[in-house]
Each structure stands twice: as structure tokens, then as C-alpha cells.
Amino acid sequence: MLDDAESLFIEASVAQDQHPEYVVLHSLFLMQELQPKKALQLLENIKNSPQLPANYWPLFAELNLKLENFNEAIAGYENWSATEQNALASLRLVYLYQYSNRLEKALATAKLGTQRFNNVVFKYLTVDMLLNKASVQEAKQVFNSIQAGKYAEMLEWQTLKGRFAAIDGDFKLALSTFKKVYDETHSPLLVKFITGVYRMTNNYPAASAFLESHLEMYPADLNTWQVKFNVEIQKDPLKAEYAALKITELAPNDSIAFNNLAWFELQNNKIALAAKHIEKAIELNNKNPELFDTASQIAMKQGNKTKAIEYIKSAITLAPNSATYRATLKEIESK
């Protein structure tokens, strides 16, 4: 039956000389039948048609998002937004801009969403991004425009309330608010906020204990292991090293994770391990000058000046404008 239905779409499209409306309907049918690649190919075939149906760009955007073609998805949502003011398209754009590190674009889109749509999510996103860039007063203005009575029990509102409390130095309120949300969500983001309050109040034991309790429940939580490493690095080298190792286990293709582990081991005079892990980092990514800088310092600790010079020259090749790397080269050569 499904094959017969698709045959009808194909016949209709051919009969209408690939009329865009029939092609889009055929694509929609394929999407519903869980054939997104085939559906997208049909849309690509008519992309340059002078008259595209109104539902072309929404379908194009959603298919590309489903297939994780994020740049194409962004283009689709941008075209959709250009032809229609749609809250879903705007929200998708905010998240995709954030994912692709186009943060100013994400913020501008969220701000526009607060003006165009009666959807409080745009305000939450705007406040969050403003806080992330330390625009506290503007963030407060947007936050205060949210009707507290209507949204006060929403977890997003509570989270922002906690963040403002922490900024204002009311750590007791911040901690109680964050813990309330954490108890509901166990979100790694709340782990980060709670740990941040403990660190701001110099309560290392509480921070460490809280992280350990969370990781006991969620041992594969990579983000929290990264927080754990940053907390322990100043207080407990053994716990910090364990966290760094866990990060490389959970992210075995992350060159920065191996670089951080190597750097930590270098600082703790575990030179052989540091050399092993920086080699792995460079194997994963030989285009990052920071890795070669670390490798250079490890080589010097090993007494291999020639290798150290080779590594730092590689860093300079990748970052020719770095005064730091050039100064490091001079320092090594002078020894």
C-alpha cells in the first residue's frame, strides 16, 4: 500500500513536470515514512525553483535538523523566518546559533522573539545569554518583565532567580533555589550552579561531597566530571587526576581532554604519563598549537631540548602571530 502511495506521488510529480507542490507533498510523505534522506533529496532537486510552496522551507529546515546538517538547517529556518513570523523557527534558530557558537546572533534572535511572540521561553533564553555575557542590568530588566506570579514555579524561572541571588551575594537564597530545581531535574547545569555557590563561599568540602553524590548516580555525566576536575585541582590532586582520567574515558576523541590531563600530570611531575597523554592529544588533533606548546614543556622536563624546540616551532607554524610561543622558543633556545 505504501509503495502504491509513493507511486502516485511520483506519477503526479512527473505529470506536472516536477511541480514544486507535488514534490513537497511527496517529500512530506517520505518524512512521515521515516525516509528523511530521500525526502531531503527531493527538496534539493527543486531548491532553485522560482516559486516554492509556503511549506518548503519549514520542511527543508526540519529535515536537515533531523539529519544533523546544522548549517543547512540554519539556512532553512532563516528562509522560513524571512517569509513568516513563526515562533518555532525562531526558537530553533536561537538554539542552532548557540550550538554553532554564533552567540550574538542567538541573542539578537531571542530578543526579537520577545517582541514578536507571546512566548516566555524567548525571555528566559535572553536572560540566560545576557547573564553569560555579564550584562547583568539588562538581564534583570528582562527578568523583571516576566510575570513572577504566573511563572514563579517554573524551573527556568527558579534557576534564573538563583543566578541573580548569587550575583547579588545572597548565597543562602541562591543555594536553596538551585537545590530545589536540582531535586526536580538532576540537571548537570544545576550541578554547576550549586558547585559555583559552594566555591564562592569557599566551602570546598561541600562542593566535593555534592559532586561525588551526583556522580555516584550519574557516573557518565561528562560535564560534571569536568566541574569535578576544576574543583579538585586546587585541593586534592588525586581526585583531580581521577576526574581527568574519567573525562578522557568518556570523551576518548577529545584532544583538549588529553591535553588537560597531560598538563596536570606535568605539574605533578608525572612526566612519563604526561608524555603519553600529550602524544594522544596530538594524534587526535595536530592543528591545535596549544597541544604542541604543552608537548614542548613536557619534552623540556624530559631533558630533550631538540624535541622541545621542534614542538614549539610547530605551535608557531600553527599560530604565527603568537608572541607567547615565540618567547617560549627563545627561552628554550637560551637554555
275-284 confidence digits (pLDDT tens):
999 999 999 9
pLDDT at 5: 45
Exposed / middle / buried, residue 135 (Cβ in 10 Å: 0-12, 13-18, 19+): middle
pLDDT at 190: 95
Beta carbons of 77 and 96 less than 8 angstroms apart: yes
DSSP tag of 53:
-
What is the Cβ-side half-sphere exposure of residue 7, based on CA atoms within 13 angstroms? 4
CATH T-level fold of 1-84: 1.25.40
Beta carbons of 151 and 157 less than 8 angstroms apart: yes
DSSP sequence for 165-230: HHHTT-HHHHHHHHHHHHHHH--HHHHHHHHHHHHHTT-HHHHHHHHHHHHHH-TT-HHHHHHHHH
What is the Cβ-side half-sphere exposure of residue 203, based on CA atoms within 13 angstroms? 14
CA distance 292 to 314: 7
pLDDT at 18: 59
pLDDT at 148: 67
Domain 148-251 is in which class? mainly alpha
pLDDT at 2: 43
CA distance 71 to 96: 9
Residue range(s) occupied by CATH 1.25.40.10 in the chain: 148-251, 276-335
pLDDT at 32: 75
CA distance 118 to 107: 17
Beta carbons of 291 and 311 less than 8 angstroms apart: no
pLDDT at 271: 95
Domain 276-335 is in which class? mainly alpha
Identify how many contiguous H helices and E strands the chain contains and give both numbers. Answer: 21, 0
Could you report the per-residue pLDDT of 227-241, keeping only the tens digit for each?
999 999 888 988 999
pLDDT at 35: 82
pLDDT at 118: 81
Q: What is the pTM of this model?
A: 0.76
Average pLDDT across each block of 10 residues of the chain; the chain has 335 residues. List them in order: 46 51 72 79 80 84 90 93 91 94 94 90 93 92 80 84 95 96 94 96 95 97 95 90 94 94 92 96 95 96 94 95 93 89
* Short-list 315, 269, 321, 323, CA closest to 290: 315
